Structure 1
Amino acid sequence: MRLPLLVVACAAAASSELAPAPAPGHRPALPRQCKADQLVAAGGKRGGAVPAVWAPPSYGWAILSNWLYFLSLGLNAVNVQYLVRLIVNADGSTAPSPAAIALSGRVETVDKLLTFLGVGLLSALSDVRGRKPLMAWSALGFAATNLLQASAGAGSIGRLYLADLIDGCSSCMTPICQAYVADCSPASRRAQNLGVSRAGVFQGLSVGGAFLLAFPIGGVLGAKLGPRAPLRIAAALQVVNAALIALLVDLREANPIGALRRLFGRAGLLRSAALAYGFVSLARNALDAQFVNYASVRFGWSQQQTGPIMVVVGLMLAVAPRLLVPRLGPRRAVLLPRPRLQRAVLYGLAVFAAGLGGAGASPSPTGFLASIVVVSVGCVCIPALQALLTNIAPPGERGALLGALGALTELTGAIGSTLYAAVLAAFTAEAPPLPLPGMHFFVGAAMLVAAWALAARGFATHAAEARAAAAAGPAGAADE
């Protein structure tokens, strides 16, 4: 039920393209555990003085933990809607019904609201207590979620709510892993390591690689063994993940309102980009939260058919940002130190909106799939927005800001889950208001148009302020 993370997790947390160059001899600040591990890596002893030369610890274990997490998420995402139908439908069938669609939206809303309330706290806590314990907490929470969902029988609606309650209180794996990778990456490689540029590893390995395996395997297992078996496998993978974190991993403003204030409480480009990100996050739920239900209602697809399609989506999301961001314009500075992120945001939003509109209007599977490819290309705007937000934020708040983005994502996910489930149920009923079964896609496209307007205005204002400051600079210096 947490497919919306598919897009968010593939986004990069920071970009060296906008980060100021460090002063000579400056060592980036790391959380306490990173500092200790960096000391050991440099040949020192724990408790001793930190060497003058910064030797960042490896972040490979964080990528592995996130990969295992998304492997479980992919197995869950392909099958959980079918499990809800088994529980709700009186005849025990897996056919989509308005009651099952509405229930899935309400249950997902519980998850998103609780994650919104907790992800900022958990991410900020990892800045103080270290990444490892919070990563283990997230893995065990998702394991319990899958076990509860798999054990739910006919009429066990309360167990579904309990499962998503636990999930919502433990969802923090991706922002914490992203924060760790960003903390332990030198400025010259931060964008590459997180996946904004073509050499990115976090996005391609830990997210795209996991979904490439999980979606087809989950679809086949669900069709052959029923939707409960893949969920049990997903739970087992997270138990293994938690054990690896506890035994092997050497990982070197804590409330939702305060987290949102980090994004919206500051004027200028940061606020505009945060508002645009909120609309994008809300819009993407039109596809993420209702993909399985819409494909079943509109085209009669089963798990075996939706699984491979979701692989295509995951592959496009893994590849598109790495290929497109470095090619979206010249290197000369116009509005920002590097205009490519600006171009990725604006072009991506426009393409994303067009793709959602096409998905809503397409009457055939072929046209729908073509629109999904367009959507995947447009999703380049999401890592670009996250990179922009992370790098214009005050220094020393990377983990907290990623937590704030996570809180905003979950809040919009809670709104979108209920909103799009209600719209899909209404427009696929026997007597719909209009003969537009893809109406929820048009609602999402309207959100993206609003995001484009906010982002364009923010970039234009930022450019005007930069030109005014540059013009006033020489005069101010002369007066002094």
Structure 2
Amino acid sequence: MNAPETRTDTAAARPASRRALAFIVLLVWIDTLSFGLVIPVLPTMVMRLGGVSLSEASAIGGWLVMSFAIAQFMAAPVLGGLSDRFGRRPVLLVSSAGHALAFLIAAFAPNLLVLFIGRIIAGATGASYATAYAYIADVTEPEKRAQNFGLVGVAFGLGFMAGPALGGLLGAEDYRLPFLAASAACMANFLLGWFVLPESLRQDLRRTFSLARANPFSTFRRLSAVRGPLLVLAIVHFLWWMAIQAQHTIWPYYTQYRYGWSPQDVGLSLGMVGLLSVLVNGLLVKRAVKRLGEARTLRAGLLAGVLAASLYALAETPALLLGGILIGSLGALAPASLQALATSMTAPDAQGELQGALNAISSVTIVLGPPLYAQIFASVSGADALLRLPGAPFFVAATMAGAAFLLVTMGLQAPRRIARA
């Protein structure tokens, strides 16, 4: 008699799981959308609140991004540990509500200090991606997890495509509107989750919260496992992530300074970046790896990054910049192929250790990159600049991507030999 009830329960659970998965994908999309909404108007907001020039605002903007990244880095393992103790649902709901509050604080910030406070809260409460992945693992059969994790990646790309474009349109009316829109979207996410989202973690699978496990710096211990050819890939990973921080950090400042772009122009250009990233990830990566192999695909992606950053640095006209965007979209070939190479060179029981190490490296670049590029841009674009070279940050980025390309070309001739061994 129990068997039919078990089958019925399982069948009934499937629609609920699908609804929960749809909500999680929506949550990631809204989180990314809200982050992208405010990018085009940050230069205007910093200049207005601080009474500073564009070049000075870029330096402050770098510290804003850094504060957001540090808060996210510190909060991510804490939220993960709390979700293991109290369940995924309360952590996701608190994250959505906190994110809504953070954007509301920033929208009405009377000065830069309050703006910093809002961005720090946004970073801490926006560190919900790990919990979202854990939720998917809870409600998905092992054989379907990869494709469902892929849905999260698509949601991330679509959010970054729509967010800046919409933020630019709203910012053309009032630079505070994108922050209000981001707050409203996160609050809608909270309310939807409150009424729709079920808990995914069973009581018998929960564990006590541990401060030792929640220590974000313990992640770096995993770097000790990276040796040999994997060390080459780890360095390449660091250089690539450092290179792409240039675009993430100074794009709105650079395009406004060099071309006089409005927030709407900035948003549409970043929307184009997001769209091309989705297309390359969804349509080209798999075909390129199948045809060229992981190592050649990685080199192609890195070379595209070098060429794109160089074009950004040299682009006297928006047309050349848009050409750089088209070439730079092929840079999306690099992360996927690097992951494939790294996992193929790692034992099955060490895959988690590998991902922890790579995530730690990425975290470092997100903290270090923004202030580095912002300070470079401020020093070569201000009224007192000894050398007026606004493209200098992208030259630095091109150098880093070029070093990564050379490392792969000269130091990674061994993946297939390792595989055979």
Please indicate the TM-score interval, normalised by the length of the shorter structure.
Answer: 0.7 to 0.9
Q: Is the 8 A contact 2:226 2:354 kept in 1?
A: no
1:358 match: secondary structure: helix
TM-aligned CA distance change 1:42 to 1:268, over 3 Å: farther
Equivalent in the alignment of 1:282: 242
Q: Is the 8 A contact 1:62 1:251 kept in 2?
A: no
Q: Does 1:84 align with 2:46?
A: yes
Identity value in percent = 29
Equivalent in the alignment of 2:311: 358
Q: Which of 344, 365, 371 is residue 418 of structure 1 equivalent to?
A: 371
1:254 match: secondary structure: coil
Q: Which amino acid aligns with 1:443?
A: V
TM-aligned CA distance change 1:239 to 1:408, over 3 Å: farther
Q: Does 1:266 align with 2:226?
A: yes
Q: Which of 109, 115, 118 is residue 163 of structure 1 equivalent to?
A: 118
Equivalent in the alignment of 1:63: 25
Equivalent in the alignment of 2:300: 347
Q: Is the 8 A contact 1:119 1:403 kept in 2?
A: no
TM-aligned CA distance change 1:390 to 1:330, over 3 Å: closer
Equivalent in the alignment of 1:376: 329
Q: Is the 8 A contact 1:82 1:227 kept in 2?
A: yes
Give distance in 2, aligned partners of 1:385 and 1:246: 39
1:463 match: secondary structure: helix
Q: Which of 177, 193, 197 is residue 245 of structure 1 equivalent to?
A: 193
Q: Is the 8 A contact 2:297 2:337 kept in 1?
A: yes
Q: Which of 253, 258, 262 is residue 293 of structure 1 equivalent to?
A: 253
Q: Does 1:215 align with 2:164?
A: yes
Q: Which of 100, 104, 112 is residue 69 of structure 2 equivalent to?
A: 112
TM-aligned CA distance change 1:131 to 1:268, over 3 Å: farther
Mapping of 1:145-184 within 5 angstroms? 145-153=102-110, 156-181=111-136
Equivalent in the alignment of 2:206: none
Gaps in structure 2 of 5+ consecutive residues: 1-5, 201-212
More deviation, 370-379/247-256: 247-256
Give distance in 1, aligned partners of 2:199 and 2:351: 19
TM-aligned CA distance change 1:329 to 1:397, over 3 Å: closer
Q: CA deviation at 1:367?
A: 0.1
Equivalent in the alignment of 1:27: none
Q: CA deviation at 1:368?
A: 0.7
Q: Is the 8 A contact 2:243 2:397 kept in 1?
A: yes
Give distance in 1, aligned partners of 2:124 and 2:246: 24
2:38 match: secondary structure: helix
TM-aligned CA distance change 1:146 to 1:462, over 3 Å: same
Q: CA deviation at 1:174?
A: 2.8
More deviation, 126-135/110-119: 126-135
Q: Which of the two has greater helix per residue?
A: 2
Equivalent in the alignment of 2:208: none
Q: Is the 8 A contact 1:356 1:444 kept in 2?
A: yes
Mapping of 1:20-59 within 5 angstroms? 42=10, 57-58=17-18, 59=21
1:67 match: secondary structure: helix
Q: Which amino acid aligns with 2:185?
A: L
Give distance in 2, aligned partners of 1:407 and 1:162: 25
Q: Is the 8 A contact 2:79 2:128 kept in 1?
A: no
TM-aligned CA distance change 1:294 to 1:64, over 3 Å: same
CA deviation string 1:228-258 (max 9, x = no partner): 1220121121122123333312353432322
Q: Which of 239, 245, 264 is residue 304 of structure 1 equivalent to?
A: 264
TM-aligned CA distance change 1:183 to 1:387, over 3 Å: farther
Q: Does 1:313 align with 2:268?
A: no
TM-score, normalized by length of structure 1? 0.74
Equivalent in the alignment of 1:229: 177
Give distance in 2, aligned partners of 1:417 and 1:328: 31
Give distance in 2, aligned partners of 1:216 and 1:422: 26
Q: CA deviation at 1:159?
A: 0.8
Q: Is the 8 A contact 1:123 1:172 kept in 2?
A: no
Gaps in structure 1 of 5+ consecutive residues: 1-37, 46-53, 91-95, 196-200, 332-338, 470-480
Q: Is the 8 A contact 1:123 1:402 kept in 2?
A: no
Equivalent in the alignment of 2:380: 427
Q: Is the 8 A contact 1:182 1:190 kept in 2?
A: yes
Give distance in 1, aligned partners of 2:298 and 2:246: 19
Give distance in 2, aligned partners of 1:353 and 1:178: 32
1:227 match: secondary structure: coil
TM-score, normalized by length of structure 2? 0.83
Q: CA deviation at 1:288?
A: 0.9
Give distance in 1, aligned partners of 2:145 and 2:299: 23
Q: Is the 8 A contact 1:109 1:413 kept in 2?
A: yes
More deviation, 213-222/248-257: 248-257
Equivalent in the alignment of 1:15: none
